[in-house]
């Protein structure tokens, strides 16, 4: 992709020019990072497959065996010293660029690994779909800016001639027309500049008004779409980093607490055996005390187990899943709540981990049971609906609801709203949803109760 200016042309606006150049730089850095990652993976595989020899016969044997499944990329060709080629893997990667634009980003990264005997291993991997989409958006924005630059140059040439004329009426008319066109161009450009400044300050919720059908309108549409995607990625990355820190803290806590529990239990079990005297009252005390200690130690082990489960990263096993069927089965297991199902009939299937999503449903249902305890008619509403390339699952109860001021922290660990709770249930739920590439939030429902809204991509 090229920059937003051509030759010695004056930038349309320095701030817009700088923002687009920054986008190009980041796109190139991400592409180079994908290339480095593939290079490291190929080198590691070759080293593992051939040991210290780095010879073609070792690569061929490894590719034909179990290690071939770990060969990075979707296409791999081994060029032997005699100029013959051996195809190790063929994924039919489409390396063609998008036909409607000469500035479309590459659809793959290619890596060449030279072997010790003169053979050459060439590996290809498709680039990230999200990266290609963002890069194409930036390239489209570049084209729009170039079009605006050309339009401005044409306007400059068109309006300089009346200024050189001899008639005052012509000069006045030219000034009026130029003023009207300038206002029509500068107002939306200023909006873009202001929006770019807000994004630079960390505001990902900015949106530029879109009116008309000119190049500025197309640029505004692409800008809004790009900011929407980047904002979602930024928030998801922040959530993942925060969750990783909490898991690290929980793991350290498990390590520090679990180690002494075994010796403590062993000591408590042997405590009553240490007394050889004849004082029956003291002997009875020594018999009761270890049992009480062991019960507390087992309770503490249960708490440590929950922290240990939370500290482990979620690794979903994706497979086609009927979300409506999963919701129906989970609802049938809830005996203490009246369950109302509002399932979209045309939802279709998604790719997800059924066991993990069942845990999400049961944790949210448990929260609903706790929130509605003591009410005469405890009710839980389970709903699904399609949302473009995603599906939405809503879990709503008729409890007291969650205050708006508490919603930002409700998914953080140790934020339990019930006595004796550890506050790990919703944190585990959010970890599973993030691992599926989705999002979860608390929204207002029709009755002002608690409604958890989970959005999942059909194909993470």
243-296: pLDDT as tens digits: 677 667 766 666 666 667 777 777 776 766 676 667 777 767 777 777 777 777
Closest CA to 148 of 219, 74, 250: 219
Cβ contacts of 192-195, under 8 Å, gap ≥ 24 = 192/13, 192/16, 192/216, 192/219, 192/220, 192/223, 193/13, 193/15, 193/16, 195/223, 195/227
The tens digit of pLDDT for each residue in 41-64 reads: 888 888 887 776 667 788 888 777
Interval 76-98 mean pLDDT: 72
Backbone angles phi, psi at 393, to 5 degrees: -115, 130
8 Å CB contact between 323 and 352: yes
**Nearest-angstrom CA–CA distance, 146 and 119:** 45
- The size of the chain, in residues, is 460
Q: Tell me the pLDDT band of 414, cut-offs 50, 70 and 90.
A: low
Q: Tell me the pLDDT band of 94, cut-offs 50, 70 and 90.
A: low
**Nearest-angstrom CA–CA distance, 194 and 200:** 10
Residue 171 burial (10 A CB sphere; 0-12, 13-18, 19+)? middle
- How many of the other CB atoms lie within 10 Å of CB of 135? 24
Interval 78-103 mean pLDDT: 66
* Residue 357 confidence (pLDDT) above 90: yes
DSSP 8-state secondary structure symbol assigned to residue 67: G
The tens digit of pLDDT for each residue in 99-132 reads: 344 567 888 888 888 888 888 888 888 888 888 8
* Residue 385 confidence (pLDDT) above 90: yes
- How many of the other CB atoms lie within 10 Å of CB of 161? 10
Closest CA to 434 of 153, 292, 237, 286: 237
Q: Tell me the pLDDT band of 8, cut-offs 50, 70 and 90.
A: low
8 Å CB contact between 124 and 107: no
Please give the radius of gyration of the chain, using alpha carbons only, rounded to the nearest integer.
32
pLDDT at 176: 55
Q: Tell me the pLDDT band of 96, cut-offs 50, 70 and 90.
A: very low
């Amino acid at each position: 992709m090229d920059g937003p200016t051509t030759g010695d042309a004056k930038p349309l606006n320095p701030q817009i020019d700088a923002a687009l150049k920054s986008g190009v730089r980041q796109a190139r850095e991400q592409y180079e990072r994908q290339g480095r990652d593939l290079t490291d993976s190929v080198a590691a595989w070759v080293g593992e497959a051939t040991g210290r020899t780095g010879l073609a016969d070792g690569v061929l044997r490894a590719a034909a065996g179990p290690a071939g499944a770990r060969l990075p990329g979707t296409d791999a060709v081994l060029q032997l010293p005699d100029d013959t080629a051996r195809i190790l893997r063929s994924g039919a990667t489409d390396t063609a660029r998008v036909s409607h634009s000469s500035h479309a980003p590459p659809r793959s990264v290619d890596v060449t690994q030279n072997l010790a005997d003169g053979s050459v291993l060439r590996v290809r991997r498709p680039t990230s779909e999200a990266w290609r989409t963002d890069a194409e958006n930036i390239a489209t924005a570049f084209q729009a800016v170039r079009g605006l630059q050309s339009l401005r140059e044409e306007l400059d040439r068109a309006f300089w001639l009346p200024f050189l004329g001899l008639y005052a009426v012509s000069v006045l008319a030219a000034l009026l027309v130029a003023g009207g066109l300038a206002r029509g161009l500068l107002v939306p450009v200023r909006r873009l500049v202001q929006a770019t400044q807000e994004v630079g300050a960390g505001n990902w919720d900015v949106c530029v008004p879109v009116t008309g059908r000119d190049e500025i309108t197309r640029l505004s549409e692409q800008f809004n779409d790009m900011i929407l995607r980047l904002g979602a990625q930024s928030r998801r990355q922040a959530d993942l980093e925060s969750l990783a820190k909490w898991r690290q803290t929980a793991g350290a806590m498990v390590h520090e607490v679990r180690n002494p529990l075994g010796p403590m239990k062993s000591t408590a079990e042997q405590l009553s055996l240490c007394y050889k005297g004849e004082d029956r009252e003291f002997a009875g005390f020594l018999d009761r005390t270890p049992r009480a200690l062991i019960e507390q130690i087992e309770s503490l082990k249960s708490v440590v187990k929950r922290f240990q489960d939370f500290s482990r990263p979620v690794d979903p096993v994706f497979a086609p899943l009927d979300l409506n069927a999963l919701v129906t089965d989970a609802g049938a297991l809830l005996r203490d709540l009246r369950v109302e199902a509002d399932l979209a009939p045309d939802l279709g299937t998604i790719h997800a981990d059924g066991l993990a999503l069942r845990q999400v449903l049961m944790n949210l249902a448990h929260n609903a049971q706790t929130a509605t305890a003591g009410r005469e008619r405890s009710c839980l509403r389970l709903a699904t609906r399609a949302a473009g390339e995603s599906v939405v699952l809503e879990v709503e109860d008729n409890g007291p609801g969650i205050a708006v001021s508490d919603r930002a922290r409700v998914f953080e660990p140790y934020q339990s709203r019930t006595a004796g709770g550890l506050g790990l249930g919703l944190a585990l739920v959010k970890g599973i949803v993030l691992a599926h590439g989705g999002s979860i939030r608390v929204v207002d429902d029709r009755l002002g109760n608690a409604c958890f809204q989970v959005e999942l991509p059909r194909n993470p």
